[in-house]
Every structure is written in C-alpha cells, then in structure tokens.
Structure 1
Amino acid sequence: MNSVWGSAAAAAIMLAVPASANDLFGGVYRHDLLLFTKDIHEGGADFEFGYRWNHLFTTGPIRGLQPYVVGSVNSRGGTDFAAAGLGYKIGHRLYIRPGLGIAIHDGPHRRYDSAGIRTDLGSRVVFEPELALGFRVAPRIGVEASFTHLSHAQIFSQQNPGIDNLGVRVNLKL
C-alpha cells in the first residue's frame, strides 16, 4: 500500500511543478551496508524520492550547485530520513554527482544489540553526504548508481555508527 501512496505523491508533484530544468528523482537502496559504518542491525530496502532545483548560480566557479530535498522510507521499519542539501553535477552524458545535506531521522534514541553495544545513531540530526555516478539515457532521463551515508562525525556525541545505503535511482528532468 505504501508504494501506491508514494506513486500517487510523485505523480502529484510532477503535475503541480511548472516545467523547468528541475529534477524529480527516486530509487531503491540497500539499507545498512557495512562500507564505512558499524552494523546497526537494520536491513531491507529504502525507497527514496526527491526533488532537485535548478542551479543556484549561473556564473562563477560554483555555478552548478543545485539544492535538493529527499525522503527515504525503510521497508522493514528501520531508520527513515528526510534531508536537504546541495549537489553538484560534473559532466553531461556520463557524470558524477556529489552532494552534502543535513538530515533528520526517526531511528531509535537508544538501541543496543544482543552483545550490549549501542547501535543508535547518537543524534537525531546527521549529515547526509552522497555520491552518484550517472548516465543520461535520454534528454530528460538519467540513471544513477548512488551511495548515501548518514552520520554526525561524532560532533553531537561519541555514539556514531552511521548508516550506508547503496542503490539505483532515476532522474526525470521536468
């Protein structure tokens, strides 16, 4: 039932947004990989949907910065999050898209595994760096392999296992 609501919300956004160079994107991610993080004992898939605005600046060295918002829902009731940040697309047909955002999540405030080790993220607010490698398959459609990391870099507490997510997303230029 959640996928029906997600599809309906995406369609409503597409109809409500005027035509421009903005992007609507969505994808499926593997939740809680152990690339740069500790095991927080979550799993499943994440379904992400987001919106990326046109470039902030049209001239100068940072002319390609694009603000974005993204929401992610975990299929097994694990940590969901919403983030806002800035991304930068390097390249045209084949491209790299780094980004950095601030996220708020609904993961548990305190959680311990069976060995008594804390597995919560240590702060409700975390950074959301991401990196995507993409390919424009049509003038308005791109496909990306995307990596997202959630962590606060031990700024807000010593507790900081983080979450890594890896997946595929599709971008639709509006």
Structure 2
Amino acid sequence: MIAKILSAGMVAGVSLLASPAMAEEICGGLYAHAVDTPFTLDTQESGTDIQAGYRLDPVGGPLRLQPYVFGSVNSDGGTDFIGAGVGRKFSLGSLYVRPGVGLVVHNAPSTRVNPDTGYRTDLGSRVLFEPEIAVGTQIAPRLTVEASWVHISNARLFNREQNPGIDMIGVRANLHL
C-alpha cells in the first residue's frame, strides 16, 4: 500500500515538474508520528511519516499567501493523509517562520476505541483541519531546510463529541524551482 501511494506521488510530482505551471518549490521530509503534545490524545499510532508537497508561487498581492498541496504516508500502517492549504513565509534575518493552515482527508478508522481507557481515539471526521508551523533557513541558493510541526484534528467543529488529533514533528527540505 505504501509503495503504491509513494509511486503515485512520484508520478504526480514528475508530471507537475514537467508542466508549465507556476510551481515555486517541492518539499519533503521525515516526521515523528503521533507525538504527545497538549493538542492531542493518544491515538495508539506510532512510526515515521514521509511527507511530500508542492508549493505554488505566492498569491494575494501584499498578503503573499502561498498555496500548497501535500501528502503523508505512515510507516507503521497508521493514518495517511493528503491535503491542501495556504502558508506565509516571514523573514527573521537568516531564519524564517512559515505558518500555514489547510484541510486534509485521511484514512484512519472511522471508529476506534482504546481498550485500556475506553476513550474513543478515532479522529471524528474524514476531513480535518491542518494547522502547521515551520522555522527554517536557507542552506544553498535553491535549498532551505525547516523544523516543522503539523497537526491534524477536527477542532470539534465536525464532531463535538471528541477530538484526539495527531501531531507530527520533523524536518523537511524545500527545493526552489
């Protein structure tokens, strides 16, 4: 399953690179999956996520919002997802901060209960919010590297009964095209 998703992602990436679209950069990284933070409950998932994405040129005049699409595949058979959103890069000298927000669609079970606690650990809806933030720096003329936090949850808007969420923390590289 993971090989099929990665193959499809690589084909999509190559076709995007070959098209005359206004792509600004491709990105990819490795993330610790289901990191315990104050924003999540234990979903009983683990492993490493491989994330890959594609960012378009900034739009919106002075706002300079940067649309993106990306996907994430979990190494242990946990939650995989694809999504889209917008981000904004703010320079801070030799560093930058890149917050973003989007929506994702995932493949986690629609109902899951922790047998030890009896708490529901499913994500509450198929569509989830995806806030993220990264801190990065340029390491070569066309290459930046970022430490990044990605969160997915329903924010109790799609399901008021529960909202465990999943946090991923990792590192990604961005290649400016």
Do both share a fold (TM > 0.5)? yes
Cα gap change, 1:137 to 1:13, in 2 (>3 Å): farther
Matched residues in 1 for 2:101 and 2:18: separation? 27
Q: Choose from 46, 51, 59 the match for 1:48.
A: 51
Kept after mapping to 2: 8 A contact 1:33/1:164: yes
* Residues 139, 100 of structure 1: alpha-carbon distance in 2 compared, 3 angstrom cutoff: same
User: Contact conserved, 1:14 with 1:24, CA < 8 A, in 2?
Assistant: no
Q: Which of residues 34, 37, 40 in structure 1 aligns to 2:40? A: 37
Q: Distance in 2 between the 1:121 and 1:167 partners?
A: 21
1:141 maps to 2:143: yes
Ranges in structure 1 where 5+ consecutive residues have no aligned partner: none
Tell me which residue corresponds to 1:65: 65
SS of 1:51's partner is strand
Aligned counterparts of 1:4 and 1:101: Cα–Cα separation in 2 = 21
Write the mapping of 1:148-167 to structure 2, written as runs, cut at 5 A: 148-157=150-159, 158-167=161-170
Looking at structure 1, the residues matched to 166 and 67 of structure 2 have their Cα atoms a distance apart, in angstroms, of 22
Does the aligned pair in 1 maintain the 2:135–2:148 contact within 8 Å? yes
- Whether contact under 8 Å (2:144, 2:173) holds in the other structure is yes
Percent of residue pairs bearing the same amino acid type:
50
Match of 1:22 among 21, 24, 30: 24
- How many Å separate the matches in 2 of 1:170 and 1:14? 18
Match status 1:90 vs 2:93: no
Code of the residue aligned with 1:81 in structure 2: it is: F
User: RMSD of the alignment, in Å?
Assistant: 2.1
Q: Which moved more, 1:151-160 or 1:38-47?
A: 151-160
**Deviation for aligned residue 1:152:** 1.2
Structure 2 gaps of 5+ residues are none
The one-letter amino acid of 1:73's match is: V
CA distance in 1, matches of 2:21, 2:131: 28
When residues 139 and 51 of structure 1 are mapped into structure 2, their CA distance, relative to the original with a 3 A threshold, is: same
Matched residue SS, 2:78: coil
Shift, 1:139, TM fit: 1.3
Q: Which residue in 1 is equivalent to 2:74?
A: 74
SS in 2 for 1:77: coil
Whole-angstrom CA distance in 1 between matches of 2:76 and 2:100: 26
When structure 1 is superposed on structure 2, of 107-116 and 121-130 the one drifting more is 107-116
**Per-residue deviation at 1:94?**
1.2
Aligned to 2:121: 119
Structure 2 residue aligned with 1:110 = 111
Q: Which amino acid aligns with 2:134?
A: A
C-alpha distance in 2, partners of 1:90/1:80? 29
Kindly state the Cα deviation for residue 77 of structure 1 after the two structures are TM-superposed: 0.7
Distance between the aligned counterparts of 2:6 and 2:122, measured in 1? 30
**How many Å separate the matches in 2 of 1:74 and 1:67?**
24
TM-score (norm 1): 0.90
Amino acid of the structure 2 residue aligned with 1:107: A
Following the alignment from structure 2 to structure 1, what is the Cα–Cα distance between the partners of residues 21 and 67?
A: 17
